[in-house]
Amino acid sequence: MYSNSISAPQKGKTDLVIARDSTIDEFAGRQQQPLLIRLCHWFNVMFLAVMAGSGLQILTAYPALGPRGEQYSWYPFQNVAPPSWLRIGGWLAGGRHWHFAIAWFFVTNGLIYLCNFFASGEWRRRLFRPRRDALNAVHQFVYYLGIRKSPPPEDFYNGLQRLSYSGVLLLGVLMVLSGLAIYKPVQLHLLTLVFGGYDGARVVHLVGLCLFGIFVLIHLVLVSSHPRALLAMITGGRSG
Amino acid sequence: MADQISRRKFLSAAAAMSLLAGCESRPATHFLGLMQRWNERVEKAMFSPHRLAPELPPSATTPESAFPAYYISDSIPVTPANWTLKVGGLVRQPIILTLAKMQKMPRTDMRVQHHCVEGWSAVASWHGVRLSEVAKMVGVDPRVRFVEFKSFDSDYWSSWDLGSAMHPQTLLAYGFNNGPLYAEHGAPLRLYSAVKLGYKMVKYLTEINFLPNQTGGYWENQGYEWFAGV
């Protein structure tokens, strides 16, 4: 049980018990990964892959950060084009066509996911909430580092899962906004200003892509060591 | 210079590849065409004729040697003797303008950010006459929806929506960074605008036509989007 194995202060412990109990009631009979979430997940895999590949094709035309004459000295890959096997679209115009076409599907899919996330109550068992999840996330991380011998208790997800899955949602929002800022730096110039201007928005957009890449790599490694989680994302998994 | 050559090579290779891609998968091409038409409608809807790009301080100016200069000819296009600008199409009074005549018209100066389709930005100040001033002079017919720009850079051309062409930050520029326009930047006269990507801003202008229909463009006809607003 979650509540028994955490040595939290008494008050926090009570909160945890309440949160856990209401979660059980609410999700009784519901699959681990309901159909809509599975659909959104697998569509997102396709859309994200095309967005990343076509984005790298666009980057290839000017694989540098910073305005002309003032390229940023901190960026280690200045004027280094991404490898061709990672690119989609064949040339700059092709990359742009794919990017701006699939962007609509990526955003629509994300909005469907988010609407469902909140309307269905799924957010209660998925969203990272610091008071509930922060300590658990730290323990899980320490366990992955091999310092802690046993994983912390988890109910639906552990704290670290909630942190990464919530973080990547936020990253998606950030990518859409920074992308818009690059797409229309004059018509949306206030948004562009938020990202530190056109070249700042390009930095955010590329760093965001790297974070997506890191997330996907870690996600794949962890999922391959927990095949039941992968199965649940295909079949829905057991009902809680 | 090496930069220009490599760009030309890159773009012509890329154009060949787009043809290949077209042969490869017709459904994909069809899908992308559909989405592009949709995106063009969205771009037009997002464009406001009154929204101005921020004017930048002198300190934002890009060092001149770092401001790229592209043209499609093999070497910098040379201004023909007796150069003039023909302004025509569906207008009440077609005219032929000389540079001297243009320099006597109301002058506009602006320092704005340049956005290239490749992803780079740069800043310069540009000096010239608003295209809307020239439109007033010739009297544009109400049926006009597009403006076509032709050049002496190996027949490079482009066409614009009337709204972007009449934007207060769309100039026929004869000056660059408080001096005359350099040959590599499109002398004697080029189109410059804060609201379009670089390839829409035709250099080495020879002719401007106000038209009821859209006439494509050099890059546009090879697959780059036609509206290309920023």
Which pLDDT tens digit goes with each residue over B168-178? Answer: 999 999 999 99
In the prediction, which pLDDT does A127 show? 94
Q: Could you tell me where the DSSP H helices lie in A62-188?
A: 92-119, 123-126, 130-144, 159-183
Whether A68 sits inside 8 A of B47 (CB atoms) is no
ipTM exceeding cut-off 0.95 for this assembly: no
Q: Is there a domain that residue A69 lies in? A: no
Could you give the CA distance from residue A123 to residue A133 in angstroms, rounded to a whole number?
A: 13
Q: What are the residues facing B229 on neighbouring strands?
A: B196
Residue B20 has pLDDT above 80, yes or no: no
In the prediction, which pLDDT does A2 show? 41
Query: Which amino acid is present at B35?
Result: M
3-class DSSP state of B227: coil
Q: Is there a domain that residue A5 lies in? A: no
Q: What does the pLDDT look like over A184-230, one tens digit per residue?
A: 999 999 999 999 999 999 999 999 999 999 999 999 999 999 999 99
Residue A9 has pLDDT above 70, yes or no: no
In a mutational test of the A interface, the residue from B56, B113, B170 whose CB has the highest number of chain A CBs within 10 Å is: B113
Taking only residues 25 to 44 of chain B, the set having a beta carbon closer than 8 angstroms to any beta carbon of chain A reads 31-32, 35-36, 38-39
DSSP state of A120: T
> Which of A70, A100, A186 lies closest to B230 in CB terms?
A186
In the prediction, which pLDDT does B24 show? 55
Work out the mean pLDDT of chain B and round it to a whole number: 91
Written as six digits, the tokens of A230 are: 């992968």
Q: What does the pLDDT look like over B101-143, one tens digit per residue?
A: 999 999 999 999 999 999 999 999 999 999 999 999 999 999 9
Let me know: does B218 contact B156? Beta carbons within 8 Å.
yes
Whether B46 sits inside 8 A of A184 (CB atoms) is yes
In the prediction, which pLDDT does A25 show? 65
Q: Is there a domain that residue A67 lies in? A: no
The CATH number given to whatever domain includes residue A99 is: 1.20.950.20
Enclosing domain of residue A130: 10-61+74-235
Domain boundaries, chain B: 2-222
Nearest alpha carbon to residue B149 among B53, B47, B100, B219: B219
Fold of B2-222: Sulfite Oxidase; Chain A, domain 2 (3.90.420)
Q: Return the ∠ at Cα B56 (arms to B51 and B61), rounded to 5°.
A: 135
How sure is the predictor about B26, in pLDDT bands with cuts at 50, 70 and 90?
A: confident
Could you give the CA distance from residue B70 to residue B190 in angstroms, rounded to a whole number?
A: 12
Q: What does the pLDDT look like over A25-56, one tens digit per residue?
A: 678 888 999 999 999 999 999 999 999 999 99
Q: Could you tell me where the DSSP H helices lie in B47-166?
A: 99-104, 131-138, 162-165
User: How many domains are there within chain A?
Assistant: 1
Q: In chain A, which residue's Cα lies nearest the Cα of B119?
A: A62
User: From the CA of A67, how many Å to the nearest CA of chain B?
Assistant: 5
In the prediction, which pLDDT does B90 show? 98
Written as six digits, the tokens of A41 are: 């997940």
Could you give the CA distance from residue A146 to residue A128 in angstroms, rounded to a whole number?
A: 23
Let me know: does B194 contact B52? Beta carbons within 8 Å.
yes
In the prediction, which pLDDT does B17 show? 46
Whether A187 sits inside 8 A of B117 (CB atoms) is no
Residue A158 has pLDDT above 70, yes or no: yes
Could you give the CA distance from residue B224 to residue B227 in angstroms, rounded to a whole number?
A: 9
Q: Is there a domain that residue A1 lies in? A: no
Residue A145 has pLDDT above 80, yes or no: yes
Taking only residues 113 to 142 of chain B, the set having a beta carbon closer than 8 angstroms to any beta carbon of chain A reads 113, 115-123
Q: Is there a domain that residue A68 lies in? A: no
Q: Return the ∠ at Cα B166 (arms to B46 and B78), rounded to 5°.
A: 115
Residue B18 has pLDDT above 60, yes or no: no
In the prediction, which pLDDT does A24 show? 55
**b vs e for B137-149, b when ≥16 Cβ sit within 10 Å of the residue's Cβ?**
bbebeeebebbbb
